[in-house]
Amino acid sequence: MTIKTATAPLASQAEEDALSALLDGELSQTESLRALARIHSAPAERTRFRTYSLIGDSLRGLPDTHPDFTTQVMAALKNEPTLLAPMPRRRERRPALWLAAAAVSAITWGLWQSLPDQPIPAPMAANAPRPVDVEPYLAAHQDFAQAVIAPAEMQFTQVSFVEPQR
Amino acid sequence: MSDREIDLQLVERVRAGDQRAYGLLVEKYHRKLMRLLSRMVRNSDEIEDIAQETFIKAYRALPQFRGDAAFYTWLYRIAVNTAKNHLMARGRELPTVSDQAMNDEDEPDERLVAQNISTPESELLSKQVAYAVDEAVSALPEELRQAITLREIEGMSYEEIADTMACPIGTVRSRIFRAREAIAAKLRPILGTSEDRRW
């Protein structure tokens, strides 16, 4: 097996152990993206990635029986068209905005409740002066317009109580 | 970022046109995939062919990968289907292992891995690598050996290792890195330094 040795000096110790932590899924999103970008640009980092993967698999008892496997697959893919199908962005949740909206609602409700009771004004339509020529029309349609022209005590609904038959 | 999220990031890179990111996924999972296939197919050449076909099919199907399942789970299903089709095309029986074992996504039962999946050359190399890794781990200082063992074999998180070893998480991260570097140094003479392997 021939794998390139990671000899290129890296920027810092923190960057070096970032790749190791990346393999373990122990980096933050920002650090992970930075480490992945470094792998993308530095062949030495890819070699390190391969070596670390091999060490882990070897410790877990997975034999490296096909050392050139990745090279062969990548050679086979050379003639494949480059994929250009970016993944759809997942809708990001904004809990801070929701929390703010909830807080404003709660404060508004609290203030509303704390206001002194005030008389509820009568509906505008009942008090509004009506033009005279409307009266005959309303009178002719009073069955359908009781709420407007009938006095309050006449506003009722007819119901009947029928004894259930046995 | 979890292992699964890192895989998703790599998939996103591939889908954005970075084919080399796919090489990292192949590197990461091909040994695990081959062990899975060794439960279904006996011949080592066939195992390699099916594994290659699986990775090529997966590459072509990546635009349909939505990330609902982990990448390896998705790859695993493609591998099982590819192996079944391969065996059916040759009019052969499905594997001697049970369907349940085939569909088990956990680490395979070692008793089922009865087939020899290696050629004499690759078997020799594999033994050399395994021997070098074992030797290197044995030669590590105790705190490095414990850290890498807990991580790679027990699968513990850094936080769990920190609790076990009663040290800060940053120390765990440093110890695991130093252990890997020490083992890698022992492997380099075996792995070689050729520059002709690019992906």
User: What CATH number is associated with residue B186?
Assistant: 1.10.10.10
Chain A residue with Cα closest to B4: A25
Q: A46 vs B24: CB contact, 8 Å cut-off?
A: yes
Chain mean pLDDT for chain B: 84
Higher pLDDT: A20 or A41? It is A20
**ipTM of the shown complex:** 0.80
Partner residue facing B187 (CB), from A51, A61, A68: A51
Chain A positions in Cβ-Cβ contact with residue B59 (cut-off 8 Å):
77, 80, 83
Minimum-distance CB partner of B31 among A3, A25, A62: A62
Q: Tell me which chain B residue has its CA closest to the CA of residue A78.
A: B19
* Confidence band, pLDDT 50/70/90 cuts, at residue B179: very high
Compute, in degrees rounded to 10, the torsion defined by CA atoms B129, B130, B135, B141.
100
User: Domains of chain A: which residue ranges?
Assistant: 13-78
Higher per-residue confidence, A129 vs B129: B129
Higher pLDDT, A86 or A156: A86
Single-letter code of the amino acid located at B27: E
Query: Best-predicted range by mean pLDDT among A69-78, A87-96, B13-22, B54-63?
Result: B54-63
- Sorting pLDDT into bands at 50, 70 and 90, what band is A8? very low
Radius of gyration of chain A (CA): 39
pLDDT at B110 over 90: no
Q: Does B156 have pLDDT greater than 90?
A: yes
Q: What is the dihedral of CA B83, B86, B90, B91, to 10 degrees?
A: 60
> What pLDDT band is residue A40 in, cutting at 50, 70 and 90?
confident
Q: What percent of chain A has pLDDT over 70?
A: 57
| Whole-number pLDDT of residue A145 | 53
Last-in-domain residue among B62, B81, B112 = B112
Domains identified in chain B, total number:
2
Least confident of B38-42, B130-134, B150-154: B38-42
DSSP conformation letters of A95-141 = HHHHHHHHHHHHHHHHHHHHSPP-PPPPPHHHHSPPPGGGHHHHHHT
The CATH architecture one would assign to domain A13-78 is: Orthogonal Bundle (1.10)
pLDDT reading at B183 higher than 70: yes
B102 plus B174 within the same structural domain: no
Q: Compare B44 and B14 and report the one with higher pLDDT.
A: B14
Domain that holds residue B15: 3-112
How many angstroms separate the CA of residue B132 from the nearest CA in chain A?
A: 10
- Of B112, B143, B163, the residue that ends a domain is B112
Residues B29 and B69 in one domain: yes
Looking at residues A1-28, what average pLDDT do you find? 70
**B88 located within any domain:** yes
pLDDT value of position B8: 92
- Of the three residues B80, B112, B144, the one that is the final residue of a domain is B112
- Residue B102's nearest CA partner among B30, B31, B40, B35 is B40
The answer to whether residues B27 and B82 belong to one domain is yes
Is residue B199 domain-resident?
Answer: no
Specify whether the CB–CB gap between B9 and A52 falls below 8 A.
Answer: no
pLDDT at site A25: 92
Q: What is the pLDDT of residue B115?
A: 46
In chain B, residues with a C-beta closer than 8 Å to the C-beta of A14 are none
pLDDT bracket for residue B199 (50, 70, 90): low
Given this model, what pLDDT does residue B88 score? 86
What's the pLDDT score for residue B186? 93
Whether residues B136 and B102 share a domain: the answer is: no
Give the tokens for residue A106: 């709660």
pLDDT in the model for residue B123: 73
Nearest by CB to A85, which of B15, B20, B118? B15
The Cα–Cα gap between A26 and B179 comes to: 16
Give the pLDDT band of residue A148 (cuts 50, 70, 90).
Answer: low
Residue B196 located in a structural domain: no
